[in-house]
Amino acid sequence: MPKLTDAHRLIGPVPFDDLPEDPRPEMDRLGIEQAYVTHTLSLYSDARAGNQALFELDDPRLIPVPVVVPEAFADIPRWPVPMVRLCPERHRFDLTGPVALRWLAELDTIMAIDLEETSPAQLLALTRRLPGQRILLLNPGYRRLRAIAELMSEAPTVWLEMGTVNTQRAVEWLAERFGARRLVFGTGAPILDDCGPRFLLDHLELPDKDVELIATGGDLL
């Protein structure tokens, strides 16, 4: 197994639990070479303060994924990042509204979004308005696989983070339909368990080349 890339990890304190703020010891234990990280302050408190703390990190293993809110859209071109995260439900803005669409149309980076923050129908509408926009769907779970598969069938610029697709052969089912290149290893740690996705990755019934592709970010990262 190659060194892993975790496409979905958090750093910082959380208001509802006592969790480690530094992800690197656990990354070392699980063989994760690098992680795309979002600061918890951006999700649970102040997006600007969290993004500032994120950009102060000085470790090439931790790739910043800032949270974008409407008032910060103008900052996006100055951020040297490969991915941003949007939380329209949490931060109360319309993902397909005129403001978001105007700035996303100028965005040359990946947009990561949790399924609970949107819907397959809204994502499909977004991809039709912005056909070049690359989207990484986080935390899809396994109960909505049919709806997710319909979305991926119609929207080739949607990739899927597979950490929560933890029912029997679900990842294999997706890989058979859409290719391993559109599946990305991620954990959501430390709020979510990272050992489960690591175990799932190690036991996929897929060719080694497909497992390696998923482990290193598909053809997205």
Nearest to 145 by CA among 178, 113, 112, 117: 178
State yes or no: cis peptide before 190, omega within 30 of 0.
yes
- Give the model's confidence band at 78: pLDDT under 50 very low, under 70 low, under 90 confident, else very high: confident
Q: Which is more confident, 131 or 104?
A: 131
Q: Identity (one letter) of the amino acid at 76?
A: I
Tell whether the model's pLDDT for residue 194 goes beyond 90. Answer: yes
What is each CA distance from 200 to 1, 171, 217, in whole angstroms?
13, 9, 15
Distance CA 163, CA 166 (A): 7
Tell whether the model's pLDDT for residue 19 goes beyond 80. Answer: no
Looking at residue 72, its pLDDT comes to 66
3-state secondary structure 117-181: HCCHHHHHHHHHHCCCCCEEEECCCCCCHHHHHHHHHHCCCEEEECCCCCCCCHHHHHHHHHCHH
- Give the model's confidence band at 45: pLDDT under 50 very low, under 70 low, under 90 confident, else very high: confident
Distance CA 16, CA 33 (A): 28
pTM of full prediction above 0.85: yes
Tell whether the model's pLDDT for residue 75 goes beyond 90. Answer: no
Residue 195 contacts by C-beta under 8 Å, 6 or more apart in sequence?
A: 30
Looking at residue 77, its pLDDT comes to 65
Token code pair at residue 31: 């063989």
Q: Which residues of 19-37 are buried (b: 16+ CB within 10 A; e: fewer)?
A: eeeebeebbeebebebbbb
77 phi/psi in degrees, rounded to 5: -60, -25
Distance CA 212, CA 210 (A): 5
pLDDT digits (tens, 9 = 90+) for 83-126: 999 999 999 999 999 888 888 888 889 999 999 999 999 999 99
DSSP class of 4: E
- Give the model's confidence band at 216: pLDDT under 50 very low, under 70 low, under 90 confident, else very high: very high
Token code pair at residue 132: 């070049």
Looking at residue 154, its pLDDT comes to 97
DSSP class of 193: -
Looking at residue 84, its pLDDT comes to 93
Looking at residue 96, its pLDDT comes to 92
